[in-house]
Amino acid sequence: MSEPSTDTAATTAGQPQSYEAAAARVEEIIRRLDSGEASLDETLALVSEGKTLIELCATQLAAVGDALEELRLDELVSRLEHEASG
């Protein structure tokens, strides 16, 4: 079962993943850690991979939040311009 983890870790290190893929992998990591079956070395690797994925997810969520805030500001400016001209 450790082979899929290695493949996913290589993908994570090589290319950015989608939020959904990263979040799903974090859930897999948590299940593996909760099982108590991981060796110490595997646990360290999983924790490191999980940290990287969580940081990726946080960055992507922050970017979406920033974009939504910008959209709200654009809508507000448009509304204010419309009210000022009307």
**What was the pLDDT predicted at 16?**
62
**What was the pLDDT predicted at 86?**
76
> Quick one: CA torsion of 24, 10, 30, 50, rounded to 10 degrees?
-100
Reduced to 3 states (helix: H, G, I; strand: E, B; else coil), residue 18 is coil
How confident is the model over 20-31, as pLDDT tens digits?
999 999 999 999
**What was the pLDDT predicted at 48?**
98
The tally of domains found in the chain comes to 1
SS3 content of the chain, % helix, strand, coil (to 5): 90, 0, 10
**Total-model pTM:** 0.69
Walk along the chain (86 residues) and give the pLDDT tens digit of each residue. 444 444 444 444 555 689 999 999 999 999 999 999 999 999 999 999 999 999 999 999 999 999 999 999 889 889 898 889 87
Domain that holds residue 52: 2-85
Cβ atoms 45, 83 nearer than 8 A: no
